[in-house]
Chain A
């Protein structure tokens, strides 16, 4: 299972991760090696009709619709790297991108 450099670039974009061009060959090779290793599960045919195993409770429990204090020892202003007038601040969307609506 060989992962191409292009695929690595595409996955890096999906994962919002900077990958230096020089790092691409090693990363592609490592990913290929790992994917080749894990692909061996396809050798097991018997799992076709099997339902996935989900550990934990069989059914989710629901919480009463009550407003409760946040449990925060301090607020967003102290957490945020950039904060103004009550808002978190991040750099603007790039020129190529339009706000989602």
Chain B
């Protein structure tokens, strides 16, 4: 696309499609505002950009100039960011259109998008179910065909898990591949902006554009943007490891069947497949639920009603302002995690929890290095233990919600890239399979994903 009239047509069509998908409560931007903005953006977009005219929705925890940034929270209700995320600037420089903000679990904390202050998002194929989270809005919008791609964010699997549940592609880059400047921080040493897309190609193209150096983010590596590989003819020469800890005996049989089928296809593509072990996998959730809340408790301290955002009630003194704003502005899950994080960092508990968790993290990262050092190129695992669950099913017990991240958190803890692609259906519901790659070798991971995507019967029952 290089013609301004095409970009304009694309903008209007996107607004129409997003409007049609309204019932999903996936897009938080009022349609009128969205339409107006898309048209204006189409007129200003760079025609020579590689994504010219492509509408890309953006998760509401990523700062944009065009629309508000609420992070799915009341505490940032109506907040207009006076600057935009580096990833959004890069999208626009490539000619893409920011197609509204998508619903998410508050501040990225959740696995179902039920913890949004703006209502839950619906699963695109079954309104009684969740689209996953925390990037549920982005996943639902892509799955509904409203946009070809959307930005999400990952801390423990929040792009891959909803991708799996909604039947779309979800990519988490290597930590440090994409600038976090303008991504509202949750777990700083885990967070990355990721991409959801209709296909590996769509998602990868967008990832390539938003990746690359950014001096404003000290944790972003000084590298060029991601170079995209071509679709390989075969996977000859690839060694794919199957970590046994991700295929426990109590794994849902349908999920197992879908994975077995995918593995068989990988072999038919010419890859060598072997069983490997990541022995500390069992401790990953526990490690994650110490490190992430700890960092979150510090990152969320800035939300106090003093300098931006809404204020809650006339407070007699400044401490009352803080406590009321935060007590009322944060939802239950966020409050719980902030409390947890504060606890594990507090005097007397720091060594037993936070310091120990950081050491566990090193062991988990070491597990991956050990496997990759022995000639394995990639790993294949299920993305989620089940397909989309029913809304309300996991709300009573926080730990049970946490366990749905069981196959995804390890990549965040180890800083590795990972991708989920649809590999089948379970009783009509989509299911994803995950490929985990080596640090900064996204191209190999994408090659395998391209190849598998072409042959896997993603719409067929497992």
A61–B222 touching, CB < 8 Å: yes
B318–A50 touching, CB < 8 Å: no
A41–B356 touching, CB < 8 Å: yes
Given contacts A42-B352, A90-B306, contact A51 B221 (CB under 8 A): no
List chain A residues, Cβ under 8 A from B83.
Answer: 71-73
A82–B311 touching, CB < 8 Å: yes
Q: B145 interface residue, CB < 8 Å from A?
A: no
Which chain A residue shows the least CB distance to B339?
A: A11
Which chain B residue shows the least CB distance to A49?
A: B359
A38–B189 touching, CB < 8 Å: no
A81–B310 touching, CB < 8 Å: yes
In angstroms, Cα B280 to Cα A50, docked, is 14
Q: How far is the CB of B68 from chain A (nearest CB, A)?
A: 13
- Cross-interface CB contact of B289 among A19, A37, A82, cutoff 8 Å: A37
Mostly, the B contact residues are helix
A15–B338 touching, CB < 8 Å: yes
Chain A contact-residue range equals: 35 or more
- Cross-interface CB contact of B319 among A35, A47, A97, cutoff 8 Å: A97
A40–B283 touching, CB < 8 Å: yes
- Cross-interface CB contact of B357 among A14, A31, A41, cutoff 8 Å: A41
A93–B318 touching, CB < 8 Å: yes
In angstroms, Cα B346 to Cα A92, docked, is 27
Within 8 A of B (CB), among A46-101: 46-48, 50-57, 60-61, 63, 71-76, 78-82, 88, 90-95, 97
B297–A15 touching, CB < 8 Å: yes
Given contacts A88-B306, A91-B321, contact A72 B362 (CB under 8 A): no
B65–A50 touching, CB < 8 Å: no
A residues sitting closer than 8 Å to B (CB atoms) are 3, 7-8, 11-12, 14-19, 27, 30-31, 33-35, 37-42, 44, 46-48, 50-57, 60-61, 63, 71-76, 78-82, 88, 90-95, 97
Enumerate 13 A-B pairs (CB-CB under 8 Å) in ascending A order. Answer: A16-B319, A16-B323, A19-B327, A41-B360, A50-B362, A52-B361, A53-B366, A55-B176, A56-B175, A56-B221, A56-B415, A71-B83, A91-B321
